[in-house]
Amino acid sequence: MALKDITLGQYFPGNTILHRMDPRTKILLTVLYIVALFLSKQVVSYVVVIAVLAAAVAISKVGLKAIVGGMRPVLIIVILTGILNLFYTPGEGDPLVQVWVLKIYPEGIWSAIFMILRIILLITCTFLLTYTTSPILLTDGLENLLGFLKKVRVPVHELAMMMSIALRFIPTLIEETDKIMSAQKARGADFESGNLIQKARALVPLLVPLFISAFRRADELAVAMECRCYHGGEGRTRLRQLRYRGIDYAALALGVALVAVVVVLRKFGL
C-alpha cells in the first residue's frame, strides 16, 4: 500500500561511529560545518569542506543513493539559484556571453557554482544528521542543548516532549489513515477521481474520523501520563542519559579545527 511505504523521520538504523555519537555532538558538528561552509569563499576552502563531508558520508554508510534521492524535492530551488547567480552577478571587464539584456561574466559562473555547491552541501550535512540520529535522540539532544533557555522561561522540556510525542504518533496516524481509507472505500468512497472540489469533499469521510481518533488518543495519553505522575520537566530524570565520550570530544575538536582552517584559508584569499 502506498501510504505504508512513506519513510518518515528518515532515520537509517546503523552502527557506525556517526550513529553511536552523542546527538548533541552531531547537532553541534552540523552547526560548525554550516559556519565553515558559509566562511568558505574560494576553491581551496571548498575542496576542504567537500572532502570533510565526503569522508563523513563514507563513514556513515548511508549511501549516496539515499542522499541523492532526498535531494530531489529541492532540485528546483538549486537550479533556480544557480541560474539567477549566473545572470545577475555583475563582473569587471567584458561579459563572456551577452544575449539581449542577459550577460554572463566569469564571476557569475563561479558564483553560480559556489552557490549550488553551498546549498547541496548544506542539505547533505543536515540529511546526514537526520539519517544517523533517531528522532527521539534528536529531540533529547536538542532539549539538552537548548536547556539554557529555561532560565529565560522558555518551556524547553515541554516543547521537546511535544515534539517526541508528535514523532511517535506519525506512524500510528498513517496506519489509522490507511485503515479508515480502506473502510470508506469498502463503502464506495472514491478518493481518486473527480475535480479538485470533489476530491476535497471526498476527504471529509477520512478527516473527520481521523481527527476524532487523534483527539481520543491525545486524551487517553494525557490520562495515562497523569496516572504515572507526569508533571513536566521539573526534577525529571532520564532512562537514557546523554554522555559525551572520547569520540565526541575528538569529533568536536575536528569540527572546530575545520572552522579554523577555513578562516585561515580565507585570510589568504584561497
Partner 1 sequence: MEPIIQTEHLSHIYSTGTPFERAALTDVDFTAYRGEYLGVIGHTGSGKSTLIQHLNGLLKPTSGVVRFEGQDIWETKERTRQTRFQVGLVFQYPEYQLFEETVYKDISFGPKNMGLDEGEVDRRVREAAHFVGLRDEQLEKSPFELSGGQKRRVAIAGVIAMEPKVLVLDEPTAGLDPVGVEQILGNIRDYHDAHDATIILVSHSMEEVARTVDRLVVVNDGTIPFAGPPREVFRHGEELERMGLGVPQMTRVFHRLRSMGLDIDPSVYTIEQARQAVLDYLAKKGAE
Write out the residues near partner 1 by the rule CB under 8 A.
1, 4-5, 179-180, 182-190, 204-205, 208-209, 212-213
Q: For partner 1, which is the closer residue by CB, 211 or 244?
A: 211
For residue 177, the minimal CB distance to partner 1 (Å) is: 12
Q: For partner 1, which is the closer residue by CB, 97 or 183?
A: 183
Our CA angle for 216, 179, 73, nearest 5°, is 95
Q: Which of 127, 124, 141 is nearest to 27 (CA)?
A: 141
Q: For partner 1, which is the closer residue by CB, 200 or 204?
A: 204
Only one residue has cell 481509507, namely: 181
For residue 123, the minimal CB distance to partner 1 (Å) is: 24
Supply the DSSP string of 93-157, one letter for each residue. S--SEEETTEEE-HHHHHHHHHHHHHHHHHHHHHHHHHHHS-HHHHHHHHHHHGGGGGGGT--HH
For residue 139, the minimal CB distance to partner 1 (Å) is: 24
Phi/psi of residue 197, each to 5°?
Answer: -65, -45
For residue 137, the minimal CB distance to partner 1 (Å) is: 21
Residue 165's Cβ-count burial label (10 Å; 0-12, 13-18, 19+) is: middle
Q: For partner 1, which is the closer residue by CB, 208 or 222?
A: 208
- C-alpha cell of residue 100: 539581449
For residue 195, the minimal CB distance to partner 1 (Å) is: 17
Q: For partner 1, which is the closer residue by CB, 195 or 241?
A: 195
For residue 86, the minimal CB distance to partner 1 (Å) is: 39
Query: Which residue spans within the chain are E strands per DSSP?
Result: 97-99, 102-104
Q: For partner 1, which is the closer residue by CB, 4 or 151?
A: 4
